[in-house]
Amino acid sequence: MNTKLLASIAIFALLAGVISTSVMQSAYAADYGTSDKAADAKKLADKKAADAKKLADKKAADAKKDSGTGKATGKAASDMVTVEMAKGTATNTECGDKCFVPNKVQVKVGGTVTWKNVDTAAHTVTDPNGAFDSGMLMAKGSFKHKFDTAGTYDYLCIVHPWMKGTVTAS
């Protein structure tokens, strides 16, 4: 009898211990661990969403700006593109992709590229394949060409052949 009673008490005590421990753990989790973690995760998700929206808004604003000014960004073809012959390019044989700025432009078929000579020296805009040739462009001079045929046009300045640029009409 005694043994059975002792065993029952022991089992009861064990069960009570297990139950109370698990109840305390879940209460603790609800009060501290889990709820805080959930709040943090939500905060983080909200912040990520806000950041993503900010980035998307900025990109949209930038795209609007670019199309508004008609300036070539090298990203998308436009109807009107302006390229400048940079200062000092007559003597700076190392001007590389900064001779014609921007060096590579995209224009829509039927669109126009305008070159502006902002240098003090005279330059040309010449397609060696003959699609266009500005002739000598004095300081502050400009030259326009309408691109009616799709293609990639590599051009140069015949006075300073290190000055090279590319127009892609598409």
In whole angstroms, give the CA distance from residue 99 to residue 156.
10
CB of 153 to Cu ion, least distance (A): 17
In whole angstroms, give the CA distance from residue 132 to residue 114.
12
CB of 88 to Cu ion, least distance (A): 11
Nearer to Cu ion, 72 or 99 (CB): 99
Q: Does 80 bind Cu ion (CB under 5 A)?
A: no
Q: Retrieve residue 62's tokens.
A: 């930038």
Between the alpha carbon of residue 166 and those of residues 48, 72, 106, 153, the distances in Å are 40, 12, 9, 5
Nearer to Cu ion, 111 or 143 (CB): 143
Enumerate residues 144-163 that contact Cu ion by CB under 5 A. 157, 159-160, 163
Of the candidates 86, 111, 123, 137, which one interacts with Cu ion according to CB under 5 A? 123
In whole angstroms, give the CA distance from residue 158 to residue 133.
10
Q: What residues line the site for Cu ion (CB under 5 A)?
A: 123, 157, 159-160, 163
